[in-house]
A and B are shown apart, each in its own frame.
Chain A
Amino acid sequence: MERPLSPFMFPTWYRFQITSVLSILHRLTGIALVVGSILLAWWLIAVAAGGEVFEATHAFIASPIGVVLLFGWSLAFFYHLCSGIRHLVWDAGYGFEIRDAYRSGYAVLAATVVLTVLAWLYVLLA
């Protein structure tokens, strides 16, 4: 068999494990949240400035792109929060057994979905 090189390994030869996928996701959501912090600062400035600046910001947030971004950031926030707590538990010296790492990984995914759904139910119903 001809041996494939790195990027081509992924779909066929390399089997993903939840542990590595969650680790990568922790980074990606972290980067997404850094980008989100720009909108956060922008929103604070817009509230302070008022007038047209706020109207434009508000229109952007309420637009389809804005809502999709907000949804993505809320998902990224809740994932990074839950996954970050998992990392802090590891830093404290617990949960290193493979079995525990898998369990906490699935718990993080479940908690992310639950928190995101609850948050948006609150937004839509309130």
Chain B
Amino acid sequence: MANTRSLSNATALRDENVLRRVRHLGSARDGLQEWRLQRRTALALIPLGLYFVASMLRLATSDQATAAEWLASPVPALLTILFVLALLAHAVVGMRSVLVDYVHTRARLVAAELLVRGAAILLACASVLAVLKLFLGR
């Protein structure tokens, strides 16, 4: 991969430079993809998280009708789904980096990661279904 378009290697955000730098030293697996996913979801979660938490400040103690009406409107429904998906993708990578540090047996690590991934998929699908039900059923 001779990608020489970039002249600057001043920042680690330039993927081609990271690849070039780690070619002989770094991970031979999927570390860079995870690193990217973690940063991209982090960026997405800044506005999405602020929007959702600000909405929750109003809704956390509201009655069911108010909350259902909010989740059934297009923009809140869309942004809530995006927030949940970005949050859980970010959570899976974050939990993985914690597990890799503290679980030292290969079998246990695989089991713990499967558990985290399975739980994240379950929560994501359940949340999306709940929002879709309100959105489509209004």
Contacts and interface: CB of A to CB of B under 8 A. Distances in A.
A114 interface: no
Contacts of A27: 98
Contacts of B50: 81
B131 A44 contact: yes
Contacts, number: 92
Nearest to A77: B53
Interface string A21-57: 0000001001101100110110011011110001000
A34 to B, nearest CB: 5
A107 interface: no
A101 interface: no
B67 A37 contact: no
B107 interface: no
Contacts of B53: 74, 77, 119
Interface centre among A34, A70, A84, A123 (most CB of B within 10 A): A34
Given A34-B91, A88-B42, A44 B130 contact: yes
B126 interface: yes
Interface string B93-109: 01100100000000000
Interface string B117-138: 0000001001101110110000
A31 B96 CA distance: 11
A33 to B, nearest CB: 7
Given A31-B95, A77-B49, A47 B123 contact: no
Nearest to A88: B42
Interface centre among A31, A37, A122 (most CB of B within 10 A): A37
Contacts of A97: none
Contact of A81 (B49, B60, B84, B98): B49
Given A40-B84, A62-B61, A93 B10 contact: yes
A34 B61 CA distance: 21
Contacts of B58: 126
A124 to B, nearest CB: 10
A98 interface: no
B46 interface: yes
Which are the 4 A-B pairs with shortest beta-carbon distances? Answer: A48-B130, A93-B11, A44-B130, A41-B123
Given A45-B130, A58-B64, 15 more contacts: A30-B91, A34-B91, A34-B94, A37-B87, A37-B91, A37-B123, A40-B84, A40-B87, A41-B84, A45-B126, A58-B61, A61-B60, A74-B53, A91-B11, A92-B13
